[in-house]
Structure 1
Amino acid sequence: MSAPTLAKSKTAKPRPKSPGDSGAPRTREEFVRALRRNVSAHGFLIGAVLCFSFFSWYPIVREFLLAFQKTEGGKTTWASWSNLTYIFNDPAFWQAWRNTLQFTGLALVLGFAVPFLIAVLLNEFRHGQGFLRLLVYLPVMLPPVASVLLFKYFYDPGYGLFNRILELLHLPPQDWLQSTDTAMFSVVIAATWMNMGGATLIYLAALQGIPGELYEAAELDGAGILRRIWHVTIPQTRLILSLMFLMQIIATMQVFTEPFLLTGGAGPEGSTTTVVYLIYQYAFNFNNYGSAAALGLVLLVLLAVFSAAYVRLSRDSDD
């Protein structure tokens, strides 16, 4: 009697592959289902790309072209560098940059330092942090126009809240928005109050990520609160402070809403005319779209430098 063999019979048929096996032909229903799924996914992607192209890429390209063009009598001609030459020779250009840099400097002193200090104070509270965070973030949730009009009422030289406070302190009243000495500072105060809530919560989240052992070790070494902030808090939050510093510069150099609503844009003797407001003037007051685009191009290049630095810091933080 011969032993059973394990060899395959030549007549044995191969096992049919399941539809999920690689290289197996799909049924019509599976093909249609996969096609619908991919079409939906690509449809959403194409829609997002089209919106981004129309509202972001196209205006950027159009601005580049418009900065080197001139439109007169409904006819557009190539202007080469004349628009850039015009804005560089315009005294308002340099005044707008001085005002913008002044606003940025004051906003960094107040809008960068004050939220960090408030976050440090909030981090020390053990009870009611939720309510305090809501209270700090509340100005951000208000419409910007409503917040600016509220401060315009506070700054009123006759019945404004700030002059009433000065009167109670037996101090002389101030022409907050009507004086060249205080107009820009008044705008900075309003802008800081409106926008500091988001920065405060970001700083607070960074502070709560610092290990408590570091503070305990500092206390054992006899460090007071100022030394703990300087030797523990700031070094542990150096990266987020750098990122917020760059974001603050990028945001403040595009300021428009606050000076436009508080002082009418230009302010007394042009003391609150910013670069973005000058772009608005070129385009809508003087109908000089080429110069407006040229000034926007200059601002774009400058902000691109800070944005590149921000991206670099963000990438280093991820690594």
Structure 2
Amino acid sequence: MSAPTLSPSEAAKSRRPRPGGPGPRPPGGAFAKELRRNLTAHGFLIGAVLCFSFFSWYPMVREFLLAFQKNEDGRTVWAGWSNFTTVFNDPAFGQAWRNTLLFVVLALVLGFVVPFVVAIVINEMRHAQGYLRLLVYLPVMLPPVASVLLFKYFYDPGHGLFNELLGLLHLPEQQWLQDPDTAMLSVVIAATWMNMGGATLIYLAALQGIPGELYEAAELDGAGLLRKIWYVTVPQTRLILSLMLLMQIIATVQVFTEPFLLTNGAGPEGSTTTVVYLIYQYAFNFNNYGAAAALGLVLLVLLAGVSAVYVRLSRAQDD
């Protein structure tokens, strides 16, 4: 028996998709669906990129251009390396770098060691840890200007809190901010108190992640408190310590608020003039934006070099 044949109209009907079947996809449907699903994420991403472009990347590019330009009779002309020559020949250039280096060293001795010690003390306590964490972090929540003005009152040579305490101990009063020998140390103490809260909490989180079995094994070997800190705590927190050291160096090299408010920037005999304050002077006191940009570019290259050394050393240790 021969197979039944279909007419052309019946064959066309048989090739039509059944109702409810998948059917052919419209062109671009998958892309449009994926775009709609990620539209919110793309919106946030575009907003972040625009913010970085206007407030971070554009100022960096603009600073690079200003470092090689200057204004003559209201016109912007190419200056070559003359702005850098002006900065390097300025007598305040060397003094600003020496003061900044002194601030960095003192800030590392106090601002890097003290938060780690405070975190160890809080971690060893069995009660009131939450209260102590709040107490340590409280200065960070205060406005920086209010904190600096509070310390300016403490340093008052007449009836300041610190001189009152020295009087109770029958010790001679100090000219904290008026003496070139103590001005920078006074600024470092204020900066350490203002900024140690965040570092302390980071160290405390790292300490709480150390397994307790390591300390128990160290106690069985007869290790005391200092040996446990040196052979257990420090190696286990080495990564966070090195990262915080880098962040501390970058932050302290750019110090400006504390010396500007405590000692009006320069301090007695220029003892608190920092690199960033010198940039401020070039731009807003001398109206020399080219020199300010040149010194800022020098600072940028220096910090980039420090970061590159840190990355290279970190990779060498990981290998």
What is the match of residue 134 of structure 1?
134
Q: 1:161 to 1:15 in 2, by over 3 A?
A: same
The 5 Å alignment of 1:155-304 reads 155-304=155-304
CA distance in 2 between partners of 1:296 and 1:148 (Å):
25
- State whether residues 18 and 24 of structure 1, in contact with CA within 8 Å, keep that contact through their aligned partners in structure 2: no
CA distance in 2 between partners of 1:31 and 1:79 (Å):
51
What is the match of residue 50 of structure 2?
50
CA distance in 2 between partners of 1:77 and 1:17 (Å):
74
SS at 2:135 equivalent? helix
CA distance in 1 between partners of 2:44 and 2:21 (Å):
29
Q: 1:220 to 1:81 in 2, by over 3 A?
A: same
Aligned letter for 2:253?
M
CA distance in 1 between partners of 2:110 and 2:22 (Å):
63
Q: 1:69 to 1:125 in 2, by over 3 A?
A: same
Q: 1:218 to 1:174 in 2, by over 3 A?
A: same
Aligned letter for 2:232?
V
What is the match of residue 7 of structure 2?
none
Q: Deviations over 1:187-241 (max 9, x none)?
A: 0000000000000011111111111011001111111101111111111111111
What is the match of residue 4 of structure 2?
none
Q: 1:75 to 1:127 in 2, by over 3 A?
A: same
Structure 1: gaps (5+ residues): 1-9
What is the match of residue 90 of structure 2?
90
What is the match of residue 152 of structure 1?
152
Offset, 1:316: 8.9
Offset, 1:42: 3.5
SS at 1:216 equivalent? helix
Aligned letter for 1:190?
A
Is 1:25–2:54 an aligned residue pair? Answer: no
Q: 1:229 to 1:35 in 2, by over 3 A?
A: closer
CA distance in 2 between partners of 1:19 and 1:297 (Å):
65
Offset, 1:242: 0.6
Offset, 1:273: 0.3
Is 1:61–2:90 an aligned residue pair? Answer: no
CA distance in 1 between partners of 2:20 and 2:287 (Å):
70
Q: 1:214 to 1:102 in 2, by over 3 A?
A: same
TM-score (norm 1): 0.89
Q: 1:34 to 1:116 in 2, by over 3 A?
A: closer
Offset, 1:309: 4.5
The 5 Å alignment of 1:92-107 reads 92-107=92-107
Offset, 1:36: 5.0
Stretch deviating more after TM superposition (183-192 or 36-45):
36-45
- State whether residues 154 and 161 of structure 1, in contact with CA within 8 Å, keep that contact through their aligned partners in structure 2: yes
Offset, 1:19: 8.4
Aligned letter for 1:96?
A
CA distance in 2 between partners of 1:17 and 1:274 (Å):
78
What is the match of residue 71 of structure 1?
71
Aligned letter for 1:88?
F
Q: 1:313 to 1:139 in 2, by over 3 A?
A: farther
